[in-house]
Every structure is written in structure tokens, then in C-alpha cells.
């Protein structure tokens, strides 16, 4: 009997046509996550099996809890038989040292060649335990211990407890997206939600030195590092935005600063996406949160690109976003007080109903195509992973 970890895929199993891609990708992602652990990973259509574990169960489980596409994680005992008599003895040996009064047996039988049905198997095992272990009774409604018995093609799996995984889809199964990652609270949460749906992200950060500091950049890289736990790693594209912002500031009526700045960001993001073969942009916009996120503003800004823009937190209240930021551990970093490029050139009265026609007029005053071309030509790419050193000195 070997103690192994069994993984259930959950929602994946409903994806009939793509199931092999989903499971194969999940396996690759788990392999990457456990690259420092000497384990062996195998799978069939319904389950993944991690064998060769030693004393590293807790560590492996903690890592598996950062992998999307896993529905349940179970530490179980594998016996290479479907013979009911042998199974009964093994179950008994497992429960012998356990202290409990009430129990029930729950059987799953994916191998339909087994003649007895699940209920018959459960009650036979239950009866055997009652006969051989003193002081226990069956309670089907509220048992202290549930003994799970899964009979599959190549063996039987026995376990008592299961832990929930993160759910979602394995990262990469849905293709690539570009996350507009600022140092704020919203965009890391938006990124996490997109990764959850199987989107492999690359991040895009606009910096405006000397108006924005190296601390602001490190903060974004720290957020990228947290997100990289779920994304395998995270490539961060850094765009030097100073010249564009200064040109906007000098030439455009200040109430339109933010609207036009964001149109430039979108244009650049679309080009980065097409070069990276990404199919969507993802950002942390939330309806009504600030002047640039009224519906009219969103339309005037969105108009400059064709690529779909996904806004996972669009309909969340700020408090809901904060809750999630705390859960995924980005909140404490996000609230560090370094200026972002959006906050340094904020006008007193940003327009809340910008007119697209006026945006186009104003944009004629700056050679924005050339500026965008330069910014993209000189852009920097930094690859962050969960093992990246905290001060990012080795990367910058
Ligand atoms: P956040 O808390 O995510 O920064 P916010 O409330 O500050 O959001 P805005 O500053 O209006 O809102 O930005 C809206 C979205 O635009 C951000 O969530 C992010 O996706 C993107 N964005 C803003 N600033 C930057 C930046 N400097 N680099 C990359 N993306 C940015
Ligand atoms: Mg922001």
C-alpha cells in the first residue's frame, strides 16, 4: 500500500473535446510547480496521481493549492487490487489505529466491470469493519469518519479527507493575455481572476521616471512575483511612458489628460499583445470608480483598440476587490505609498463625459505615433518568478 496524492480535476471534466489538452497542460503546470520535489506524476481521464513522496506531503499540498485546474487534493492509500476481500483487510488495517465512534463508507466505482454496485461494496466493507473493530457504529448522516473507497482501472484508492484546490482552468489552456499591471489594488486582483480562467498572462507596466520612482517599479515587480505563483512565471513588459505623458501634459487641455493618456496606454497594450500573440487585454477598471471609468469614458478610451478588453473586477465594489486582494496576498504590497504614473499628472477636474471627437482633435497636437513607436522600440522585458530575489537587483 503506497501513500500517494490524488488530484481531482473538477470542472475540466466537462470539456469533452479539449479534455486531453486540459489534462496534459495541468500535468505540465504541476510538474513545473513541483520541479524541486522528486515526485512522479501520472494521470488518466479522471484523476492525476503523484507518487514517490517522502516526508514532503505538506509542502507538496501547499504548492498544489497554488495551481489552477485542481478541484480536490487527496492524500490516499493506493492498493493495486480490485479484489474486495483484500480491500476490506487494507481498510481495516488503516482504521485500526484511528480513534472514532461513528463512520460511513462511501464507494466510487469507475471500473464498471466490477459486478457489485457502489452501495453493495460500501455495506460489505462497513459490515466487515463492524465485525472486526470494537466500539464503532455506522452513521450515514453525520459520521465522524468517512472512509472513501475509489475503485478504478488499475487499483483502489482509500482516503478519509480531501482538501479543496483553487478550481478554475489550468493556466495557458485558454491562450495568452496582457495584464495592464499598475501598483494599485485592482489590477493584481484582475490578473488573478484571468489566470484562474486559464489565461496565461504577461504584464505591462507604464513607468514615468523621474516622476515615478524605482520603488514604484519594484512594487509592481513584487506584485508580479506574487501573481507568478499562479502563472508559472510572469514576463513584465516595462514601457517608458515619460515622453508621451509630458507631451500630453504640455499640449492637451488638462481635463482630457487622463482620457488621452489611457488611450495611449491602450494603443501600446494592443501592439504589445499582437507581438506576444496575446488575444486579450486584462485590466483592473471598475465601473464608476474614477472619472476615467464612467461608461462614457470607458467607451472613449476603448474605441482606439480592436482587441477585446476583459475587466474582471468591472462589477465589483472596492471592498470586494480589497477582500480578494487580501486573500491572494497582494493587498499589503498594493497599499505601499509610491506614486504611479496615473497619479502624478492628475488634473483637478478630469472630464467624466469625454467626447471621442475631441480626443481625436487633441491627439493631432502631438506626434503620438512616433512617440509610441519609440516607447515600444525601447521597452524592457523582465521575467519574474516566485524564486526571484526580493530586491530585484539581479533583474534590474
Ligand atoms: P489599480 O488599483 O489597479 O491601480 P486604479 O483604481 O488605480 O486601479 P486607474 O489608475 O484608473 O485605477 O487604472 C485603471 C487600470 O488601468 C488599472 O487597474 C490598470 O489595469 C491600468 N493601469 C493604470 N495605471 C497603469 C500603469 N502605470 N501601468 C499599467 N497599467 C496601468
Ligand atoms: Mg492605479
Domain boundaries, the chain: 2-167, 176-395
CA atoms within 13 A on the CB side of 154: 9
* Nearest protein Cα to ligand 1, atom 2: 184
Nearest-atom index, ligand 1, CA of 283: 20
Judge whether 201 and 102 are in contact, CB under 8 Å: no
**Alpha carbon of 113 to ligand 1 centroid (Å):** 57
Residue nearest to atom 12 of ligand 1 (CA): 285
pLDDT of residue 15: 62
Percent of the chain with pLDDT over 70: 95
Q: Which residue has the higher pLDDT, 388 or 256?
A: 256
- The pLDDT value recorded for residue 268 is 98
Give dist(CA 3, CA 249) in Å, integer.
64
Q: Cα(340) to centroid of ligand 1, in Å?
A: 9
Which ligand 1 atom minimizes the distance to the CA of 208? 27
Give distance in angstroms: CA of 258 to centre of ligand 2: 12
Contacts of 194 (CB under 8 A, 6+ apart): 177, 179, 201, 280, 282, 310, 312
Q: Which ligand 1 atom minimizes the distance to the CA of 179?
A: 20
Q: Using CA positions, which residue lies closest to atom 30 of ligand 1?
A: 180
Nearest CA to ligand 1 atom 25: 182
Ligand 1: which atom is nearest the Cα of residue 188? Answer: 3
Span of 41-50, 244-253, 304-313, 333-342 with lowest mean pLDDT = 333-342
Give mean pLDDT, residues 181-191: 97
- Tell me the CA–centroid distance for residue 101 and ligand 1, in Å: 56
The Å distance, Cα 23 to ligand 1 centre, comes to 34
Cα of 284 vs centre of ligand 2, distance in Å, is: 8
Atom 10 of ligand 1 has which residue's CA nearest to it? 342
Contact between 392 and 238 (Cβ < 8 Å): no
pLDDT at 341: 65
- Does residue 222 carry a pLDDT above 80? yes
Please state which of the ranges 107-121, 199-213, 237-251, 360-374 shows the lowest mean pLDDT. Answer: 107-121
Q: Could you tell me which of 272, 278, 211 has the C-alpha nearest to residue 239?
A: 272
Gap between the Cα atoms of 160 and 94, Å rounded: 10
| Nearest one of 75, 36, 83 to 57, comparing CA atoms | 75
Task: Give me the helix-helix angle, 356-363 and 295-302, nearest 10°.
Answer: 50
Query: Best of 179, 185, 187 to mutate for ligand 1, by most ligand atoms within 8 A of CB?
Result: 187
Q: Which of 163, 228, 236, 217 is nearest to 192 (CA)?
A: 228
- Could you tell me the pLDDT band of residue 2, with boundaries at 50, 70 and 90? very high
How many A from CA of 341 to the centre of ligand 1?
9
Average pLDDT value over all residues in the chain: 93
For residue 238, which ligand has an atom nearest its CA?
A: 1
The most confident of the ranges 152-156, 207-211, 324-328 is 324-328
pLDDT at residue 349 tops 90: no
The pLDDT value given to residue 342: 62
Binned at pLDDT 50, 70 and 90, residue 291 comes out as confident
Q: Per CATH, which fold does 2-167 belong to?
A: VC0802-like (3.30.2130)
Query: What band does 395 get if pLDDT is binned at 50, 70 and 90?
Result: low
Q: Determine the angle formed by the axes of helices 186-196 and 214-231, rounding to 10 degrees.
A: 20
Identify the nearest ligand to the CA of 293 by its number.
1
CA distances from 154 to 79, 148, 150, 183, 333 (A): 9, 17, 11, 50, 48
pLDDT score of 12: 64
The more confident residue out of 369 and 339 is: 369
pTM assigned to the model: 0.93
- CA-343 nearest atom, ligand 1: 10
Centre of ligand 1 from the C-alpha of residue 275, in Å: 22
The bound ligand whose nearest atom lies closest to the alpha carbon of 335 is 1
Q: What is the pLDDT of residue 134?
A: 93
- In ligand 1, the atom with minimum distance to the C-alpha of 241 is 27
| Second CATH level (architecture) for the domain 176-395 | 3-Layer(aba) Sandwich (3.40)
- pLDDT per residue over 85-129, tens digit each? 999 999 999 999 899 999 999 999 987 778 899 999 999 999 999
199-217 per-position pLDDT tens digit: 999 999 999 999 999 999 9
- 21 close to 90: Cβ distance less than 8 angstroms: no
Ligand 1 site residues (CB inside 6 A) read 180-182, 184-187, 204-206, 283-285, 289-290, 292, 340-342
Amino acid at each position: 500500500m503506497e501513500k500517494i496524492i490524488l488530484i481531482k480535476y473538477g470542472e475540466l471534466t466537462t470539456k469533452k473535446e479539449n479534455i486531453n489538452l486540459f489534462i496534459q497542460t495541468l500535468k505540465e503546470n504541476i510538474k513545473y510547480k513541483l520541479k524541486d520535489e522528486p515526485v512522479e506524476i501520472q494521470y488518466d481521464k479522471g484523476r492525476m496521481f503523484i507518487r514517490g513522496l517522502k516526508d514532503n506531503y505538506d509542502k507538496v499540498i501547499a504548492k498544489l493549492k497554488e495551481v489552477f485546474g485542481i478541484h480536490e487534493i487527496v492524500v490516499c492509500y493506493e492498493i493495486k487490487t480490485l479484489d474486495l476481500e483484500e480491500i476490506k483487510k487494507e481498510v481495516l488495517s488503516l482504521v485500526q489505529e484511528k480513534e472514532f465512534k461513528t463512520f460511513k463508507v462511501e464507494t466510487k466505482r469507475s471500473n464498471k466491470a466490477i459486478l457489485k454496485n457502489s452501495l453493495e461494496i460500501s455495506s460489505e466493507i462497513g459490515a466487515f469493519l463492524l465485525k472486526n473493530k470494537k466500539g464503532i457504529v455506522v452513521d450515514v448522516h453525520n459520521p465522524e469518519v468517512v472512509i472513501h473507497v475509489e475503485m478504478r482501472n488499475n487499483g483502489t484508492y482509500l482516503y478519509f479527507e480531501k482538501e479543496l484546490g483553487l478550481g478554475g482552468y489550468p493556466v495557458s489552456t485558454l491562450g495568452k493575455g496582457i495584464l495592464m499591471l499598475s501598483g494599485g489594488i485592482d489590477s493584481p486582483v484582475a490578473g488573478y481572476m484571468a489566470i484562474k480562467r486559464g489565461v496565461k498572462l504577461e504584464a505591462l507596466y507604464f513607468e514615468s521616471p523621474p516622476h515615478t520612482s524605482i520603488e514604484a517599479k519594484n512594487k509592481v515587480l513584487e506584485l508580479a512575483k506574487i501573481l507568478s505563483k499562479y502563472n508559472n512565471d510572469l514576463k513584465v513588459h516595462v514601457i517608458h511612458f515619460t515622453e508621451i505623458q509630458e507631451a500630453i501634459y504640455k499640449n492637451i487641455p488638462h481635463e482630457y489628460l487622463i482620457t488621452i493618456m489611457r488611450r495611449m496606454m491602450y494603443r501600446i497594450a494592443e501592439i504589445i499583445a499582437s507581438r506576444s500573440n496575446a488575444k486579450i487585454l486584462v485590466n483592473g477598471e471598475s465601473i464608476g470608480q474614477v472619472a476615467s471609468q464612467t461608461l462614457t469614458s470607458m467607451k472613449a478610451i476603448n474605441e482606439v483598440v480592436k482587441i477585446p478588453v476583459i475587466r474582471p473586477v468591472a462589477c465589483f465594489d472596492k471592498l470586494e476587490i480589497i477582500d480578494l486582494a487580501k486573500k491572494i496576498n497582494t493587498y499589503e504590497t498594493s497599499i505601499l505609498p509610491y506614486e504611479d504614473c496615473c497619479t502624478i499628472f492628475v488634473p483637478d477636474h478630469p472630464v467624466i463625459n469625454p467626447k471621442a471627437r475631441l480626443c481625436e482633435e487633441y491627439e493631432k497636437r502631438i506626434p503620438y505615433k512616433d512617440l509610441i513607436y519609440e516607447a515600444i522600440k525601447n521597452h524592457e522585458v523582465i521575467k519574474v518568478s516566485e524564486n526571484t530575489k526580493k530586491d530585484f537587483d539581479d533583474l534590474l
